[in-house]
Chain A
């Protein structure tokens, strides 16, 4: 058993990063995730990692580019407006194939928005917020425990595919405290022969770039990246189901709303409504196949996507339901968190 603590989601993220062998953190404080840099700054004297409070998110993401290029195990965390600022850098990092971990502890938008929790950055996270054809593995934790677990997993997947990974959480999970069993520290043994760490005599120099000025080269790079994304789609789909075996109505929800929906499932079943929950854990790659299978089940009458946005994931659900069943939506915006009761009454309005 690992060490058990009562921690905020943001602190669990920071502690897990240290235990995963963090070598560099570059970030700029923004509510509701400032506890991450606060925690890492407090712990920094005990460890070897580099921690830099950048002058902006644009600077932070470019520090990631440099430190990642040198082969470091590196991370940045931010919240919505900050992640928007980083998008140019994200696109560069994907193209240059630099493994690193991003966490976006989402707050309400658009614009400067509110500091309260939201899931309004789903599109940005899963469809590519920056330019060009790219994808990132997107993990959506729904508990403080998973904030820690997914941080570990995120670093591993980043190295496995030599690509940035995004942890998409929200302000509530960042701020709330739960019991967390911390993963045991794992010494980080980098194996990055491509890193730009100085050229020894016995090999050619390493070049890391996202500039391919000749179209033929750029197309080749794209084909290579697409093959990698395809591998991720094949190997990294993760999801969770709750009481779907005989469900007639399937709630789809990720992150915090999946927790709230779980309670709605139990309460609804007590009054005879056969509810089930489908929760994507990876928002990209999206669990397409399983949604299609659920949509094909005879007893399933409809889907309802419950989100803290205007129905962004609903589009991915619909794409994979292929019109076989209706897909409804219930959501709140701008920092309002729906309650299990609200979810249930939304479901009842479709019965």
Chain B
């Protein structure tokens, strides 16, 4: 099963690391992964994004035009990627930042006030991306939560390891936002 996903937002919102952690977790589960970032001038003030593909089979193209899952954390990213989610696919959008809601009716839309929740409930806006990732994990069982925690530990430099419990809390909070189908 091939999952093609895009993570997009402002530079600094943690979209690239969200993708990295997911890719790392999938790799630890023995899956094939590719992580393709936008890099360069786009990162300064504009939108940053990465395409993450996860599959049981070797991945041919790391570049795709349409996605099974779109995760957008700011208005310009929604504008750019709303039309590029596959019919029947999933679009997760951050509803504190994004004022003009997506309009498509042929995909599943999930609005998450992740910035607000991270700021008010967890007192650290930086873990906003892990709330979003938690919601994605609940929606699509791409990888196990344990693998994500392992990935976080590997990705975070040791001096930040005291933040691991907070990140786990954020993931749990995100998972709780999605009601079981």
In this complex, what residue of A is CB-closest to B65? A339
Minimum CB–CB distance from A264 to chain B (whole Å) comes to: 8
Please, how many residues of chain B have a CB less than 8 angstroms from a CB on the other chain? 21
CB distance A179 to B27 under 8 Å? yes
Residues 60-77 (chain B) with a chain A CB within 8 angstroms: 60-66
CB distance B36 to A172 under 8 Å? yes
CB distance B34 to A263 under 8 Å? no
In this complex, what residue of B is CB-closest to A116? B40
CB distance A266 to B60 under 8 Å? yes
- Which of B24, B27, B61 touches A263 (beta carbons < 8 Å)? B61
In this complex, what residue of A is CB-closest to B52? A177
Residues 314-351 (chain A) with a chain B CB within 8 angstroms: 337, 339-342
In this complex, what residue of A is CB-closest to B24? A6
Minimum CB–CB distance from B27 to chain A (whole Å) comes to: 5
What sequence of 0s and 1s flags, for each residue 224-263 of chain A, a beta carbon within 8 Å of any chain B beta carbon? Answer: 0000000000000000000000000000000010011011
Please, how many residues of chain A have a CB less than 8 angstroms from a CB on the other chain? 26
Q: Is B23 an interface residue (CB 8 A)?
A: yes
What sequence of 0s and 1s flags, for each residue 2-24 of chain B, a beta carbon within 8 Å of any chain A beta carbon? Answer: 00000000000000000010011
CB distance A259 to B27 under 8 Å? no
What sequence of 0s and 1s flags, for each residue 29-59 of chain B, a beta carbon within 8 Å of any chain A beta carbon? Answer: 0001111110111000000000000000001
What sequence of 0s and 1s flags, for each residue 13-56 of chain A, a beta carbon within 8 Å of any chain B beta carbon? Answer: 00000000000000000011000000000000000000000000
- Which of B33, B36, B60, B61 touches A179 (beta carbons < 8 Å)? B33
Q: Is A273 an interface residue (CB 8 A)?
A: no
Minimum CB–CB distance from B115 to chain A (whole Å) comes to: 27
Minimum CB–CB distance from A7 to chain B (whole Å) comes to: 10
Q: Give A159 to B27 CA distance when docked, in angstroms.
A: 35
CB distance A263 to B60 under 8 Å? yes
In the bound complex, residues from chain B placing their C-beta under 8 Å from that of A115 are 39-41
CB distance A339 to B23 under 8 Å? no
Minimum CB–CB distance from B52 to chain A (whole Å) comes to: 9
In this complex, what residue of A is CB-closest to B155? A6
In the bound complex, residues from chain B placing their C-beta under 8 Å from that of A256 are 62-63
CB distance A339 to B63 under 8 Å? yes
The answer to whether A176 and B37 touch (CB under 8 A), given A6-B27, A340-B65, is yes
Q: Give A178 to B20 CA distance when docked, in angstroms.
A: 10
CB distance A340 to B64 under 8 Å? yes
Residues 130-187 (chain A) with a chain B CB within 8 angstroms: 171-172, 175-179
Minimum CB–CB distance from A32 to chain B (whole Å) comes to: 7
- Which of B35, B37, B64 touches A178 (beta carbons < 8 Å)? B35
A-B contact pairs, 7 of them (CB 8 A): A4-B27, A6-B27, A6-B35, A176-B36, A177-B20, A178-B34, A263-B60
State the 10 A-B residue pairs at the shortest beta-carbon distance, nearest first. Answer: A263-B61, A262-B60, A339-B65, A177-B35, A263-B60, A260-B61, A176-B36, A115-B40, A179-B27, A178-B34
Interface residues of B (CB under 8 A from A): 20, 23-24, 27, 32-37, 39-41, 59-66
